[in-house]
Structure 1
Amino acid sequence: MPVGEEFFNRKRKELGVSLNDVQKRAVLNIEGPLLLLASPGSGKTTTLIMKIGYLIEEVGLEPARIKAVTFSNASANDMKERYQRFFPTLPPVEFSTIHSLAFQVVREYFYKKQIQYHIIEGSDPSRFNKKLLLRDLFKAVNHKSITDEQLEELLTYISLIKNKLVPQDKWSTISCDVPNALQIFQKYERFKRSGTDQLLVDYDDMLTIANQAFGKDHAILAKYQQKYDYLLTDESQDTSFVQHAIIEKLVQKHQNLCVVADDDQSIYSWRAAEPQYLLNFQKVYPDAQILMMEQNYRSSQDIVSVANTFIKQNKNRYNKNMFTENPTHTPITLKTLADYQYQSNYLIDQISKEENLREIAVLYRNNASSILLLDALDKAHIPFYMKDANNRFFSHWIVEDILNFMRLSYDVKRVDIFERIYSKFHLYLKKSHIQQLKRPSHESVFDRLLKSTDLQEWQKEKVKAYQSRYHQMQKKTPFQVILMIREEFGYEKVMKKMSEKLGFKMDYLLEVLNTLEEIAKSTQSMVEFANRLDHLASLLKTSKYNKQQNAITLSTFHSAKGLEFAKVYMIDLIKGVIPTQSEEDQLEEGKSEEMEEAVRLFYVGMTRAKTHLELLSYSKRFGKKVSPSKFVRDVKRIISPEEFQKSHPTKTAIPKNKARQQKNGNADQTNAIKDPAKFLVGLKIKHRIFGIGEITYRTDDTMKIRFEKYSKTLSVDTCLEHGLIEAVDSIS
């Protein structure tokens, strides 16, 4: 009987679990480094747990000498539960996050060095709380309060530097839109080391200090190396450089390491994940074995075949071929609506026909996409569970501004409310004006401003106009009021200036305003509008209690990784959202990293679906024309290449003089490139019609070429057939 077959037969009878040939090879590979590349739905967790069971039951390893490391607490708990279910009579195995492992090392290292420390993460209300500390430092440097979005970006920036082990003299090379981010970070680091009699430590420090401890203290390193005979890491495409470094040091002697990952699902580069590490795995571990689990057990043939072709447009990846033995079910549906406002209604109409809501998910790239859907689901009495409970839309400063503009209309004497929004009136008032308003008076803020002696005439004219508008406001609907605030009060102009000065993304700010307008359309008074926002904010927070109920799931593509549903709707699939303009611009400059990650993100969304996948786009959004996502067009081309060609014919405009030359046979094709393999990104070329250019992007069928004044996407076959392109080096 082949090695391990008795174990597999026993588990098939006990658990009903049957492994395929590649999964069995992964279980039986117990010596040296192994990279297990697991396609979506390929049963990686089952394989990993079976491998642990095999190491204990058949190889004879002690469970305490096996360490399994994963990306999140949820994953660690899931693996632990699965192990207990598969092997209820075996002693426990250590399942933990890399941070938990690092903290063990740091605690021991600090004890040995007699270093007092204090963890500054979590909800500690003292000044030694990471978020509160960064808020204070931002205010000290920039003389204003930090927004929630800026705080998140600052946290990501700091985490990126730490996890990539960027040396201090290179910190300035990492970009961040938060004003004076580098200066704040430098002050933050100094304060943690010199502000108290204790060393202040955040979660990222745990990783860097653990790595340093392993590098400097050979006794501690030796202890942990000897503690474990076998290490397994799951979701390793999400692992950062410093995390990889810790694992490398741990397995340095025995190199008994199983790394489970999928380079095609690496979607966290902004959190310092290093997908390139997987591609260089054999450089780090020359004796490593690489196995590919390509069989998908989750999705129908319709979804798997399209997703497999879609991901192949990425070049920086292992050449995997995901397949399934599942039958066909329902072809992927591509739907383009006339307007964004119809999207929620369409989804409600589809979902209301379903009984098993737990098997339905609506996925989107940005949390903002969920707000109008949340509004519509509530009105339709459809329960939902929102995966991203930290959605801060209703606490956004724009939402608070709009509500304060409205609150002032109910009592124009409220200086406290006016003080919160005076800088948004496009009036250029000074703080001294606000101090004057705080003196006791029974007059409105506008009447008192008009009496101010140091206001210029143009300012007084504006104050009079605003005062008039406030008299009218009570008679208007919330929708009309928001329009008034945006246009007549100059709020949108203020937003634009703030965006330019503080690095806010204007498109997102407009998205918040437009969303508020849409919610306002169904309300008749400002009080009703404010109550509606409060109600939706409360629904969002309490939706977490619907997780195990018969409710649909709302999630970003990022948060949906690891989940699966019978029906998946991917929404807001338009240019500028996925891919973003930044990702498109990077591609234009010949940098493909951001675009490849966007492709992977879309692929993750597609592969959450078991039998039904629908891609939704639209032609107009908030009154402006928009284009469907490039990725929707890619899917359409994969599903129906002939139909796509008819609806997207390749148009190559030829100048008259060039056409004349071609007709007369004057075009020289002697040096034309005839081998498609020579069309490489970065190649300088000459096109017979468009002139000198450079190839910036390439797929099997097309290539993007940047010419002096524009970029063109051209058919590879057409260029070869007509001898349109030659390398610049061959031009005399």
Structure 2
Amino acid sequence: MSLERQIERLNPPQREAVTAPGQTALVLAGAGSGKTRVLTHRIAWLIEVERAAPLEILAVTFTNKAAAEMRERIGQLVPLPPRGMWVGTFHGIAHRLLRAHWRDAGLSETFQILDSDDQQRLIKRLLKELGDETLKPAQVAAFINARKDEGQRARHVDTQGFADRAVLAELYRRYEAACERGGMVDFGELLLRSNELWVQQPVLRDHYRRRFRHILVDEFQDTNALQYAWLRNLAGPDTSLFAVGDDDQAIYGWRGAKVENMREFERQFPNVKVVRLEQNYRSTGTILAAANALIAHNRERLGKNLWSDAGSGEPIRLYAAYNEQDEARFVVEQIEAWTAAGNPRSEAAILYRSNAQSRAFEEALMVRRIKYRVYGGQRFFDRAEIRDALAYLRLIANPADDTAFERVINQPPRGIGDKTLDTLRGEARASGLPMWEVLTRLLQGGGLTGRTAAALGGFAQLIQSLRAACQGQPLMDQALMAIRDSGLKEHHAKDVDGRGEGRVENLDELVNAASLFVNEEEDLDELTAFLSHAALEAGDAQGEAGADCVQLMTLHSAKGLEFRQVFLVGVEEGLFPSQRSIDDPARLEEERRLCYVGLTRARERLCVSYAESRRIHGETRPAMASRFIEEIPAEHLTEVRLRGTVDRPMSTRPSGGFERGSYGHGGSRSDWSPGRRDGGRADLQPPPRRVSAWNDPPKAPDSDSGLWVGQRVRHGKFGEGVITDLEGQGPRTRVQVKFAGAGSKWLMLDMAGLTPA
């Protein structure tokens, strides 16, 4: 098909952007509006119609995958391969420039690129030289990379009044010197050095300004300070700069991206043509209307309104779960109904704000033997911080566990190096004893001295005290003590690589998992049974990439993806938006953009859910629906309701929640306001078991047991409680009971000996 015919098939705003005269343009491309199509057609238009030579075109993307896709699609639009055109990532193009102009950049001709592991190994050596045992290589690397993303050298770092920052700045200085001596550049250095090339070598910069008459940038909202400076320095007065982005999908501020670059664009470049791509080719009209209403609450935006001509579709489902287990059960039941109707599992996605939320859904999927894949991340029990905490628990259970010993002897870092560990290994092999036994003998016999002896002695004392303190304690308390006393939580709370908060949340979720665990192995103690359970859960159900399996992912990982059915879960105040963002307007707006991204991943079906109570640090606490649910107009929502049951009275709902039946059933909205944080009562009675009116038939009561969700029962050991869930049939029936004194427990019904209270 000719390019002219291809252009005719574009919608009017797309065509306006593609055929714009050679001037600077900002294309506000909404979710699902065909931005890649516009970019590739623009390049083809420049070559075929504007008669631009391919070597005059520079196209910048953020991923190698996007760059490869762009090259392929351009090749399909123009009759001859566009040789000479540069298409690549910021760092890929910077690398190409530095290879061509290594002398001008002050580099050796054979300079080598450090990957993340190489960078941290070098920093580890520098920390040893400096005698600093408190900082982690990853922390220092994150600091250096962040400074480079801001365009700062070590000499530019402001250390006034910051002792820790002065140490980091000194390490940055030493790191720069080591890289210079070794002819090495890291990832951030590629762009920083190439930007300095533009500034310090104006003749060279002007050469490339004349060459690249057309610069096109994808995902412009994700540019950081250095990337934007690099573009501004390269774009001359005669350059046609074509920037495509969506300020409503700017969700990477935490890693240095600056959405304000889009707002500055019109001020810093003269005569900018702004084109809005608002027709969406992905989602139903109802989903788009909800997303528009939500994002309209952000004040700092350039403005657009998504629409579709594909029809309204069905309403967004809203499910108020009793707790996170009820939420996970509901979602998995919906997925079972979805697949039973002949739909692929891979077209169903569960999206959550933080990685820690995946555990309840992973467990529910494994119970039902449904294959799943954690996209862009690891399964809960495979995450490094969880494996570290479990290793401490393994040592508490069995000090002879050498694998656990080696994993945590220097985690968190306590100044015990590889040489010391090699010595312990050698002694263990020679004596045939566990490493723990070797360590205690060496300490008792005085075979260790100096700092090494102090560090090893401190570790031995930690394990001994943990073993003593955990003796006879509930499993939840053992997990709490192991995480707290080992220093793991404090260690990750100090992380400056942007991931510390998520790691702390995962550790908290491990405590929740311990609090919910029920030991069904009569011949194992509770801790050993839990450790076995964790090892088994790390196994079977994870699907391979490309297999037909349910997709689990964080909202950040979901950007750029789409699914026929999406479950947006855990939409609660303090969780989404996160607690840290509630009092920070800029962060709150980014959280709202993240919710907007989640809504617009759905093509046909969208379900939003929240829990009315959630376990935090092992304790059940009341939760309230997020303000983001309140910001979606009632006419776009329908609550998933019970059939033939009585709703919980208003007086027992957490204050600030929603009135049952207020969506799509003629009810009125609650008087929720962001200022209310009282949370309501913590001792709520659970509602009757919810049976989805979406696509599940009503479930008959369990006639064999005579029990139902919401019933008060008595247990010989745990006392009185309330049934919150039932699973399975006949002798395999499991019941979840929330006990007043012992918390929530899963019990095998035929062994539990429950009686009505």
- The residue number in structure 1 matching 2:22 is 31
CA distance in 2, matches of 1:172, 1:409: 48
Q: SS of 2:582's equivalent?
A: helix
Q: SS of 1:347's equivalent?
A: helix
CA distance in 2, matches of 1:198, 1:493: 38
CA distance in 2, matches of 1:368, 1:388: 14
Tell me whether 1:263 sits opposite 2:247 in the alignment: yes
Tell me whether 1:281 sits opposite 2:281 in the alignment: no
Q: SS of 1:406's equivalent?
A: helix
- The residue number in structure 1 matching 2:164 is 180
Alignment of 1:561-576 (within 5 A): 561-576=559-574
1:239 Cα shift?
A: 1.0
Q: What's the CA shift string for 1:388-442, capped at 9, x where partnerless?
A: 13678634345323334324534x56799669768999xxxxxxxx999x99899
Query: Contact conserved, 2:30 with 2:277, CA < 8 A, in 1?
Result: yes
CA distance in 1, matches of 2:574, 2:111: 43
- The residue number in structure 2 matching 1:161 is 147
- The residue number in structure 2 matching 1:579 is 577
Amino acid at match of 1:318: L
Choose from 201, 207, 211 the match for 2:195.
211
Query: Contact conserved, 2:351 with 2:568, CA < 8 A, in 1?
Result: yes
Tell me whether 1:121 sits opposite 2:114 in the alignment: yes
Query: Contact conserved, 2:483 with 2:489, CA < 8 A, in 1?
Result: no
Q: SS of 1:68's equivalent?
A: strand
1:327 Cα shift?
A: 0.5
CA distance in 1, matches of 2:574, 2:673: 24
Q: TM-score, normalised by structure 2?
A: 0.70
- Aligned CA distance change for structure 1 residues 380 and 81 (closer, same or farther; 3 Å): farther
Count of aligned residue pairs for this structure pair: 608
CA distance in 1, matches of 2:366, 2:381: 17
- The residue number in structure 1 matching 2:646 is none
Amino acid at match of 1:121: L
1:41 Cα shift?
A: 1.0
Q: SS of 2:583's equivalent?
A: helix
Q: What's the CA shift string for 1:522-569, capped at 9, x where partnerless?
A: 7745666545545554669x74x423x322322221121111111111
- Aligned CA distance change for structure 1 residues 442 and 582 (closer, same or farther; 3 Å): closer
1:334 Cα shift?
A: 1.5
Alignment of 1:91-102 (within 5 A): 91-92=82-83, 93-102=85-94
CA distance in 1, matches of 2:411, 2:23: 63
Tell me whether 1:367 sits opposite 2:355 in the alignment: yes
Q: SS of 1:624's equivalent?
A: strand
Tell me whether 1:607 sits opposite 2:600 in the alignment: yes
Q: SS of 1:59's equivalent?
A: coil
- The residue number in structure 1 matching 2:548 is 550
Choose from 36, 40, 43 the match for 2:34.
43
Tell me whether 1:134 sits opposite 2:137 in the alignment: no
- Aligned CA distance change for structure 1 residues 38 and 111 (closer, same or farther; 3 Å): same
The percentage of aligned residue pairs carrying the same residue is 25
- The residue number in structure 1 matching 2:345 is 357
Query: Contact conserved, 1:64 with 1:94, CA < 8 A, in 2?
Result: yes
1:277 Cα shift?
A: 1.5
CA distance in 2, matches of 1:535, 1:237: 42
- The residue number in structure 1 matching 2:221 is 237
Alignment of 1:69-84 (within 5 A): 69-84=60-75
- The residue number in structure 2 matching 1:695 is none
Tell me whether 1:108 sits opposite 2:100 in the alignment: yes
Which has the higher mean CA deviation after the structures are superposed, 414-423 or 39-48? Answer: 414-423
Tell me whether 1:484 sits opposite 2:478 in the alignment: yes
1:646 Cα shift?
A: 3.6
CA distance in 2, matches of 1:206, 1:601: 30
Q: SS of 1:95's equivalent?
A: strand
Tell me whether 1:315 sits opposite 2:294 in the alignment: no
Q: What's the CA shift string for 1:605-658, capped at 9, x where partnerless?
A: 1111112111111011122222222212222557479948944237999xxxxx
Q: SS of 1:291's equivalent?
A: strand
Which has the higher mean CA deviation after the structures are superposed, 569-578 or 138-147? Answer: 138-147
Query: Contact conserved, 1:49 with 1:82, CA < 8 A, in 2?
Result: yes
- The residue number in structure 2 matching 1:343 is 327
CA distance in 2, matches of 1:485, 1:236: 44
Query: Contact conserved, 1:160 with 1:270, CA < 8 A, in 2?
Result: no
Query: Contact conserved, 1:267 with 1:601, CA < 8 A, in 2?
Result: yes
- The residue number in structure 1 matching 2:6 is 11
For structure 1, which runs of at least 5 residues remain unmatched after alignment? 1-5, 426-433, 474-479, 587-591, 654-732
Alignment of 1:438-449 (within 5 A): none
CA distance in 2, matches of 1:38, 1:223: 32
CA RMSD after TM alignment = 4.4
Alignment of 1:244-643 (within 5 A): 244-353=228-337, 354=339, 355-389=343-377, 394-410=382-398, 412=399, 466=467, 481=475, 483-486=477-480, 491=484, 508=505, 510-514=507-511, 516-517=513-514, 521=518, 524=521, 525=524, 529-530=530-531, 532-534=533-535, 536-537=537-538, 543=543, 545-547=544-546, 549-586=547-584, 592-622=585-615, 623-635=620-632, 639=636, 643=662
1:345 Cα shift?
A: 1.9
- Aligned CA distance change for structure 1 residues 651 and 123 (closer, same or farther; 3 Å): closer
Q: SS of 1:42's equivalent?
A: coil
- Aligned CA distance change for structure 1 residues 491 and 90 (closer, same or farther; 3 Å): closer
- The residue number in structure 1 matching 2:695 is none
Q: What's the CA shift string for 1:685-716, capped at 9, x where partnerless?
A: xxxxxxxxxxxxxxxxxxxxxxxxxxxxxxxx
Q: What's the CA shift string for 1:344-371, capped at 9, x where partnerless?
A: 2222211122222232211112222223
CA distance in 2, matches of 1:21, 1:226: 32
Q: TM-score, normalised by structure 1?
A: 0.72
Amino acid at match of 1:267: I
- Aligned CA distance change for structure 1 residues 278 and 155 (closer, same or farther; 3 Å): same
Query: Contact conserved, 2:146 with 2:256, CA < 8 A, in 1?
Result: yes
CA distance in 1, matches of 2:66, 2:558: 13
- Aligned CA distance change for structure 1 residues 110 and 515 (closer, same or farther; 3 Å): farther
For structure 2, which runs of at least 5 residues remain unmatched after alignment? 413-420, 447-453, 455-459, 638-657, 676-757
More helix by share: 1
1:387 Cα shift?
A: 2.4
Q: SS of 1:30's equivalent?
A: coil
CA distance in 1, matches of 2:54, 2:409: 65
- Aligned CA distance change for structure 1 residues 327 and 202 (closer, same or farther; 3 Å): same
Tell me whether 1:58 sits opposite 2:49 in the alignment: yes
- Aligned CA distance change for structure 1 residues 371 and 539 (closer, same or farther; 3 Å): farther
CA distance in 1, matches of 2:68, 2:160: 34
Amino acid at match of 1:351: I
Amino acid at match of 2:624: S
Query: Contact conserved, 1:76 with 1:97, CA < 8 A, in 2?
Result: yes
Amino acid at match of 2:13: V
Amino acid at match of 1:238: D
1:247 Cα shift?
A: 1.8
- Aligned CA distance change for structure 1 residues 533 and 155 (closer, same or farther; 3 Å): farther
